[in-house]
Amino acid sequence: MLGSTHGTLTTDFRARVEACGETPRTAVHSTAAPSAEDAVPLDVSGRPLHSDVPDLDRFFRPESVAVVGASDTEGRPNTGITRQLIAWAERVGARIHPVHPTRASVFGLPCAPSVADLPEQVDLAVLLVADPLPVVEELAETKVKFAVAFASGFAETGDEGAAAQARLSAAVRRSGLRLLGPNTNLNAFEAFREDLDGPSIALITQSGHQGRPVYTLQELGIRLSHWAPTGNEADLETADFISYFAEQPEVGAIACYVEGLKDGRSFLLAADRAARAGVPVVAVKVGRTETGARMAASHTGKLTGADTVVDAAMRQFGVIRVDGLDELQDTAALLARARRPQAEGVVVYSISGGTGAHFSDLATEAGLTLPTLSPAKQQELHQWIPGYLNVANPVDNGGHPVGDWRGRKIIDALLADPSVGVLICPITGPFPPMSDRLAQDLVDAAEASDKLVCVIWGSPVGTEEAYRTTLLGSSRVATFRTFGNCITAVRAYLGHHRFTTGYRSPFEDAPRTPSPSYRKAQALMRPGQQLSEHAAKQLLRAYGIRVPREQLVTSAAAAVRAAGLVGYPVVMKASGPQLGHKTELGLVKIGLTSASQIRDAYRELTDIARYENVPLDGILVCQMVERGVEMVVGVTQDDLFGPTVTVGLGGVLVEVLHDAAVRVPPFGEDQARAMLAELRGHALLEGVRGAPPADVDALVEVVLRVQRMALELGDSLRELDVNPLMVLPRGQGAVALDALAVCR
């Protein structure tokens, strides 16, 4: 009971229920700071290094459930939902309590006028009301652990809805309960098959319908244990469920359909937890295109984030991003059930030379390794395969043996090869009895081996006995319907285990206290302003990043003296807080070798600046550095993830080449080197056309120092652009020839 407020709450509740039309569907982005008692370790930028795993056991397996707004009036949406919830509660062994202010019973069950009048404290309240906010405030008094809000009309509808959702989110934080939704559905209360065994898939979707292909995998014998339809994520979000599922022993893989991330750091902490546990996370993330991003925003009311940053962040923390729902289901199914690979080599075994060659082309192009089998292994295979057929890999058997034991011998011999970790058999169409015997031999061999056996059943019909019973009846054979999905899943499988082997969380090594450089850098920052090149280079110097010898001068005579000290030849550049692209304005002079050239250049640079009305803090006289590879290293602020670090090919063509890699701090040296490996122009660093190899170690060091700057200066550094960073030949370091810094 709620004391003196009970009557008022009941009256309000009756009005809300009577106003409830079709059962609803909505999004919130909570930005409130954690309370002191919820404080967690922070990195030097003030971002959390740890997130708690919500205890969702009582959400998925409650002992008691309240259905607020329950109905048994035929034709009402709430009636169908109430009926489904009663059936679900019976399956999971929960006591269900209908709640309605004007009904004595619903479907024969006693009905209470409010949650406060129930005979016991409930674990979960399902809110079938149009406005969940007042009910959430009531639930806080009754100590309910979890609630689900189906109502729509929140952040997905625009500014007014977003404000309503912000009020709901704040009420949830005050209440102490955890809320799923609003704008969610009944997917969490689906019937899951109990007759399937083995590791399961746990499913997270922001749009319920998009999870249907994964849910129906149960009909193919693949176990599904949980479904979290997160909706607008006013409270519980995708990251919460990833963290929880990663610690459930029955979960072999987590499949996600994500429209927008609520908080970038929370997502990365959850992905990090899954990586440490070795649980693969496979995700479709919409928003690759401008159109997709607009649709996602209109549906969930969230930012989708700059897709290149999202993509890099997922890759950085081992999240496997796929494009289609068919790829999501096939990749998650394989990763959930396959054992750790013993080798990375893939052998292709087919009954057709053309099929083997076609598949091998696609697999190799996708980055899979198809090792050439040893002469001894090929000789062994030729005991059972005619000598004129190619068995080097792909292996062409010319037609799988049907009448004797040779077929199984071939498959066993391939799986016994130490260079082979995966056997893939593409069957482009049924050809009984050959394909029937081949399917059975593959299943028998897979059951006796720890190695992965994949079959592609290319028949568009899919009703054949060999497919429906033999292949799908085995939990040890991964069966696909297309070449592409098989290749995507196998590449993800090998990549996941490669990633998690020896994985160390970057959050463990993230700096928590400022370095000595931070105080120097702080003195250089100018809130809301762009720094001059001279000041930006001082910022780099503060963090130990090498810049050329240079002096800032304000007269032609001083420029001549500076050139003598710097050493000819020199570069002269205008330096001012509003200057960005100096080259286009003619404000850079290179290769100056005499005092007269220095004086002329000084006059010309200052004249151009006056004509262009560009204020200067002086003219830089710089050491000329010519020999090396021009790179760019920078910092930008992402709406979801905060500061990000970019490295790419630099120079004046940086905006044309678009050859760059990005990471979200914190990251270590391994990720810095991985960034370089992603560049299309990576070969330039190795030395081409007689040029010596570049000092990659020095480049990596600059990337890590820029990352430290990004972390320590945090949101106060809106943008940093070191371009070009001249990477000198190996052993000679790297020099920042120009820099732009914008303060927030």
| Residues 370-417 pLDDT 10s | 999 999 999 999 999 999 999 999 999 988 888 789 999 999 999 999
Backbone angles phi, psi at 123, to 5 degrees: -80, -35
Q: What is the pLDDT of residues 422-479, one digit of tens each?
A: 999 999 988 899 999 999 999 999 999 999 999 999 999 999 999 999 999 999 999 9
The span from the CA of 46 to the CA of 93, in Å, is 44
* Under 8 Å between Cβ of 590 and 631: no
DSSP-assigned beta bridge partners for residue 550: 622
Mean pLDDT across 257-276: 96
pLDDT of residue 435: 92
pLDDT band at 295 (very low <50, low <70, confident <90, very high): very low
**CA terminus-to-terminus distance, the chain:** 52
> What SS3 class is residue 161?
helix
The span from the CA of 447 to the CA of 515, in Å, is 56
Over 90: is that where the pLDDT of 729 sits?
yes
What is the percentage of the chain residues whose pLDDT exceeds 90?
82
The span from the CA of 631 to the CA of 702, in Å, is 11
pTM value > 0.95: no
Mean pLDDT across 490-519: 95
- The secondary element (H helix, E strand) that includes residue 226 is strand 224-229
Residue that has been written with the tokens 């010596």 in this structure? 692
Mean pLDDT across 39-51: 90
Residue that has been written with the tokens 């079938």 in this structure? 128
- Report which of 548, 569, 566, 546 is spatially closest to residue 558, judged by C-alpha positions: 566
Dihedral Cα 434, 436, 440, 445, nearest 10 deg: 40
pLDDT of residue 403: 78
Please state which of the ranges 31-40, 603-612, 721-730 shows the lowest mean pLDDT: 31-40
**Angle made by CA atoms 636, 639, 644, in degrees to the nearest 5:** 30
pLDDT band at 584 (very low <50, low <70, confident <90, very high): confident
Which tokens in the block code for residue 737? 């020839």
Over 70: is that where the pLDDT of 224 sits?
yes
Write the single-letter amino acid at 46.
Answer: G
- Between residues 38 and 550, which one has the greater pLDDT? 550
Please state which of the ranges 67-71, 323-327, 623-627 shows the lowest mean pLDDT: 623-627
The span from the CA of 333 to the CA of 324, in Å, is 14
Residue that has been written with the tokens 């290749």 in this structure? 487
Please state which of the ranges 33-37, 110-114, 216-220, 229-233 shows the lowest mean pLDDT: 33-37
pLDDT band at 208 (very low <50, low <70, confident <90, very high): confident
pLDDT band at 689 (very low <50, low <70, confident <90, very high): confident
Write the single-letter amino acid at 148.
Answer: V
**Angle made by CA atoms 410, 415, 419, in degrees to the nearest 5:** 120
Please state which of the ranges 165-174, 287-296, 365-374, 654-663 shows the lowest mean pLDDT: 287-296
pLDDT band at 8 (very low <50, low <70, confident <90, very high): very low
Long-range CB contacts for residues 323-327, cutoff 8 Å, separation at least 24: 323/284, 323/288, 324/284, 325/210, 325/213, 325/214, 325/257, 325/284, 326/213, 326/482, 326/485, 327/284, 327/485, 327/488, 327/489
- The secondary element (H helix, E strand) that includes residue 553 is strand 550-553
Mean pLDDT across 327-342: 96
- Report which of 430, 477, 488 is spatially closest to residue 454, judged by C-alpha positions: 477
Which tokens in the block code for residue 577? 């807080």
> What SS3 class is residue 3?
helix
Q: Mean pLDDT over all residues of the chain?
A: 90
Over 80: is that where the pLDDT of 260 sits?
yes
pLDDT of residue 290: 64
